[in-house]
Amino acid sequence: MATIKMASVCFSCGRARLLSDASLVFRSGELTAIIGPSGSGKSTLIKCLTTTHRPTSGAVTVGGKDIWKDKRAYRLALGYVPQDDIIHPQLTVEQAFTYAGRLRLDTGMDDEALDKRIKTIASLLSLSEAMNRRIFRLSGGQRKRGNIGVELLADPDIIILDEPASGLDPGTEEDLVKLLASLARLGRTVVMTIHSMEHLGMADKIVMVASGRVIFCGTRPELLAHFQVPHPAEVFKVVRSKDIESWVNRYRSSALAGRAAGD
């Protein structure tokens, strides 16, 4: 099982500081939702977790080891689902899973074992009835589950998703978040960015980023109490009412920050 720790992670592009002093722990068995306004630094944080960006300073570790010390081993334990599709639209679901399996799994795995693995993943994702359908003919929710399935074939300890609910209707989004929560309960570390605030209650932990700064980490009830709002949808409005430094200071002076950093 994998627990990821970010310790004082900063990332800059030229003179622009895109992420500042992020200290967070992502534990196995937990679904973490990362929220924040557009351009807040959510995707930068995700890219630091997936080795797309190397931190300018600070470190991302798993089991105390910097992920950049053995990037290949870390990536083998990682399933990353970007916002855009990673499977070819002209393939059937079965073809996409088969090709992905042959690329990612042990070369010694025979066809029968691969077929069994594919059927197990299809059943887990409620895609068994869609296996012979081409990707471009799937619904938005099915297509997103197909993208997740390609990553699950290798049985990763860590699953990171960038806006998996983008473009989905509320009901389909709810089903997807339930699925991700169930994957976390199986012992995986699951981290997602999300715009919608409707289904945050299914996440074990919520991280809020604004202007490249972590200004909250906790549960949904703690989110409401920290920002003194009746519903998560009102958090963004409240955050805009004060300068970012005041929110950073409020968060860092709370017990939430120490707990989030694993102290």
Q: What gap in Å lies between CA 79 and CA 159, rounded to an integer?
A: 5
pLDDT tens figures, 13-67:
988 999 999 999 999 999 999 999 888 999 999 999 999 999 999 999 998 899 9
- DSSP SS3 for 246: helix
Mean pLDDT in the chain?
Answer: 92
Phi, psi angle pair for 233, to nearest 5°:
-60, -20
Residue type, 263: D
Tell me the HSE value of 212 on the side-chain side, using a 13 A CA sphere. 14
Q: How far is CA 35 from CA 24, 40, 237, 241, in A?
A: 14, 9, 13, 17
What per-residue confidence (pLDDT) applies to 80? 94
pLDDT tens figures, 75-108:
989 999 988 888 899 999 999 999 998 887 766 6
CA dihedral (96, 202, 48, 81) in degrees, to 10, reads 10
pLDDT tens figures, 131-170:
999 999 999 889 989 999 999 998 899 999 998 888 788 8
pLDDT tens figures, 174-202:
999 999 999 999 999 999 999 888 889 99
Whether the predicted pLDDT of 109 surpasses 80: no
